[in-house]
A and B are shown apart, each in its own frame.
Chain A
Amino acid sequence: MANRRANFCGSDDHRIHRRGFLGAAAVAGAFAANMGVLNVLRHPTLAAELKRQQKHVILLWLAGGPSQLETWDPKPGHDNGGPFRAIETNVPGVHISELLPKMAQRMHTTCLIRSLNTRIADHGGGAALMERGRRDEPTVQYPDLGAIIARELGRADSQVPDYVSMYTSTEGRRKGTSGFLGARYAPMFLDKELMPSNIRRLEQISDLDHQQRGELRQVLGERFARGRGSNSVDSHNGAYKRVRGLMASDKLFDVSLEPQKYRDAYGPTQFGEQVLVARRLIEAGVPFVKVARAWWDSHGQNFETHLELVTELDHVMSTLLDDLQARGLLEHTLVITLGEFGRTPRINPSLGRDHFASAWSASLTGCGIQGGAVWGKTSPDGVSVADGEVGAGELFATIFQALGIDHKKDYYLGSRPIPLTNPGTEPIRDVLA
C-alpha cells in the first residue's frame, strides 16, 4: 500500500501544526477511552486545533435517484419541466427548484454540477458506480468513497470510527465496501437504529476486567505478530486497539444528549436525526459519514414524492450547513448530495419520472469548494448534456482534490499500482476553491 501520510510537506509551519495536532489527537484519544469524545471538544484549544486540521465528508446519499428537475436543474416552461417553478438564489443568475427555498439562500456555499452523464441507469449498477467512482474490474473490487476517505483522512490512533454509514430504509440498502483496502476501512453500518448495536460492554464484565483482558490479548497478539509481517495479523491487532475507543463513542450516536434547540432545528424526521448524528460524529473527528435517505424512485407520482422528500432535504441540509458554519466546521467539511442517477425529463402517464443517467446533477458544499459555482449545462428539454459533460470519475477526482487528496495517488494491490481515479481523469477545477 502507498504511504498514507504524504501530506506532510516538511515545513516548520506544517511541523508545528502537525505536532500540535497529533498531540491534541493523542490527548483526545486518552480522554475518549474514559470520558467520551465529546468531552474533549469542550476544551476550546483542543477543539479548535482538531477543527483546524481535520477534514471531513458528509455524504447525503439520495438513494433511488432524485430528479434533477425538481432539485438543482429545473426546466420551467418546458413540457418536461413539471409543475414546480424555478426560483432565484442568492447567487445572481443561478436558479433552482422552488422546493429548495432555504438552500436558495445558501447557494453561495454550494456548487452545482449539472452535467453528469454516467450511463448506468439501473439501481445496482448506478449505485456501485457512484459509490466507487468507477466500475469494478473482474479481479479488482474498488473501495467506495467512504473507505478511501477513511484511509486518507482517518488517523491510525483514532478513537472514533473512520467511516459511519446510516441506511435504515430497506429498499436499495447497500452496506458499502472497502474493496481491496480490506476490513479496516469498512463502514460502521447502522441499518436499524441510530445507536450502533453490540457497542456496549457486557454488564457481566467490569470495566477493569475488560481493560485487563484487552491488555492480555495485546501482549499475546504482539508476541504472535512478531516476525510474521502479515497484513491480516496487523489488521486484526489494529482492530482490537480501536475497540475501547469505539465503545466510548456510543454517546456520539445519542441525539438525546444534544440540546433541544438543535434537535428542533434539524426536525423530527429520521433523516433529520441522522444528519444531526452525522454532525456530532464529524465534530468528534469522524472523517466520513454517509446518511442515506431512501427512497426517491418516483416512477409514479414524482411530484408528490419530491414535495415530500425535497422539502425535507431543503430543511435538513440547510440546517446542517448553518450548524457546521456556526461551529467553524464548514470550511473543513465537504457536504455532498448524490444519488445513483437522476430521472427522465419526460413525464410518464403515472405522473412519474423514470431512471435517467444521461444528464443529471449533484451538489458539493464546503471544504475546498467554490461556493456559488455551477458546472455544466443540460439542453433546454433536459434530455442531454449541452456543455461540460463529466462522469463519476471526474466527480470523484473533484471530491479528492477539494479535500487535498491527490486524485492521481497510487494504492498498491500487491505490486500493481492502482490510482485513486482512472488514468486521464481530471477534476473539475473550475469548482475548486
Chain B
Amino acid sequence: MTADPNKLTKKLEANVPGILFCLDKRDDATVIHCGSSDAKVYTFDLADEKPTGKPMEGHSSYVTGVALAGKHLVSGCYDCSLIWWDLETGKPTRTIADAHARWIRGVAASPDGSFVASVADDMVCRLWDAESGKMMRALQGHELQTPHHYPSMLYACAISSDGKLVATADRVGHIVVWEADSGRSLATLEAPVMYTWDPTQRRHSIGGIRSVAFSRDNKLVAVGGIGKIGNIDHLGGPSRVEVFDWQAGEQTHEFSNDKLKGLVETLAFGPDDAWLVAGGGDHSGFIQVFDLKEKKPLKEEKAPMHVHDMVLSADGTSLCTVGHGRIVTWELK
C-alpha cells in the first residue's frame, strides 16, 4: 500500500507512567523499545489490548536514547552511560559507565547495525562498534560553550541510510556532517534562528536544534527546533524545520508554524523523500507533514502529548510516537 500523509489518522493511544523520551522499533514489529524518565528502558507490545511496559533496569537518570543495532538494543542516559541490553532476559550485557563526560542526549544506530552513534553535552559524538562495544571514533566539532559563555548542548545525531554519514546538531544551531569511516568533517551548516538567546528580557535560552535526519537519498539534512520566541519562559515560539542540501551548503526549505508552537523533537523523511514528518510540542503536541516538492505544509494534527520521539515505517504508512505519558500510533494510508 502507498503512503498518503494526507490521511494521517491516530490509531492507538496508550497511557504510560512518566515521560518517554526515545523510541526504536523494527519495521513492521508491534514491539517497541523506549527510554523513560524513571531511568528504565521499557519494551511494550502494542498488539496488547492495554500495553504494559516490561522494564529493564540499569540506568540512574533520564534515558534519552535507544537504538536497535542488529541483535542489540543500546540505550544512552543522562547518567553518561551506554548500556547494551539482552532483550530476552532484560539484563544489561555491557555497560560503558563513562561513555561521555556529560548528559547523553541521543543514540542512533547504522542501518546495518554495525555501529552506534551517541551525542552528549560534552559536545562529542562517539561512534561505537555495536558488537564489541569499542569506541571507534570521537567526532569533535561543536563548541563547549555558547557565544554567551553558557554550557552548550549537543542534542541530536542521525546516520545516513548507507551508514557512511553522521550528522550532529547543537544548541546554537551548528550542524556538522561527518564521514563515519574517517571521522572527517565534510560540511558544516548553520541554523542560527534556533538558538533562542534572549539578550534583553531574560538573558538565557531554551531552544537549540533538537532533531536531525538524513533524507533517504542522503542528499538532504533536515533539522528541527523552535523559532524566535517572544517569551522564553514557555515554549511559545513557532515550531521550526530547516532543510539543507548539505553538499552545496544551502538551505532548501524553511517551515515555521505559529499555530503549532514548541520544539520539533523528531524528524523523518517519507518514501522517495517527497515529504517530511515532524513531531514535537509545547504543553501539548503535534505531528506535521511537509511537502518537500511544493515546499509547503501538507498535513498537521495535534497529538495528545508532547512528542519526544517517533519511528516512521519504511513504506511510510505507519508512525509510532512516544512522549509525555503516552504512546500513540498513526496511520498514513
Contacts and interface: CB of A to CB of B under 8 A. Distances in A.
Interface of A: 64, 79, 83, 85, 169-171, 267-270, 293-295, 297-301, 304-305, 307-309, 311-312, 347-352
A2 B36 CA distance: 61
A294 B283 contact: no
B305 interface: yes
Given A299-B234, A304-B153, A304-B206, A83 B103 contact: yes
B204 to A, nearest CB: 5
B149 A169 contact: no
Interface stretch (B89-97, B108-116, B195-203): B195-203
A168 to B, nearest CB: 8
Given A171-B201, A295-B204, A350 B150 contact: no
Contacts of A169: 200-203
29 contacts: A79-B18, A83-B37, A83-B103, A85-B60, A169-B201, A170-B200, A170-B201, A267-B149, A269-B148, A270-B203, A293-B203, A295-B202, A297-B233, A298-B233, A299-B233, A300-B234, A300-B282, A301-B206, A305-B206, A307-B121, A307-B151, A312-B150, A349-B281, A349-B305, A349-B306, A350-B262, A350-B283, A351-B19, A352-B234
A41 to B, nearest CB: 30
A interface, by DSSP: helix, strand, loop or mixed?
loop
B199 to A, nearest CB: 9
B256 interface: no
Contact of A79 (B38, B153, B203, B324): B38
B205 interface: yes
A267 B160 CA distance: 40
B163 to A, nearest CB: 31
Nearest to B197: A308
Nearest to A298: B233
Interface string B138-154: 00000000001111010
Contacts of B218: none
B78 interface: yes
Nearest to B62: A83
A349 B203 contact: no
A350 B201 contact: no
A311 B150 contact: yes
A416 B324 CA distance: 56
B306 A350 contact: yes
A308 B150 contact: yes
A308 to B, nearest CB: 4
Main secondary structure of the interface of B (DSSP, over half): loop
A248 to B, nearest CB: 31
Central interface residue in A295, A298, A312, by most chain B CB within 10 Å? A295
A79 B234 CA distance: 22
Interface centre among B201, B204, B262 (most CB of A within 10 A): B204
Interface string B239-266: 0000000000000000000000010000
Q: Which 3 A-B pairs have the closest CB atoms?
A: A295-B202, A301-B206, A300-B235
A100 to B, nearest CB: 14
B262 to A, nearest CB: 7
B329 interface: no
B149 A269 contact: yes
A309 B233 CA distance: 13
A83 B78 contact: yes
B61 interface: yes
A352 B325 CA distance: 15
B105 to A, nearest CB: 11
Contact of B234 (A269, A270, A312, A350): A350
Nearest to A272: B149
Contacts of B234: 299-300, 350, 352
A233 B151 CA distance: 53
A351 to B, nearest CB: 8
Contacts of A295: 201-204, 233
Given A169-B200, A267-B149, A298-B233, A349 B283 contact: yes
Contacts of B61: 83, 85
Contacts of A309: 204
Contacts of A64: 202, 233
Interface in B265-280: none
A268 B148 CA distance: 8
B284 interface: yes
Nearest to B204: A308
A267 B145 CA distance: 13
A347 B306 CA distance: 13
Contacts of B200: 169-170
Contacts of B151: 307-308, 311
B235 A301 contact: yes
A269 B121 CA distance: 20
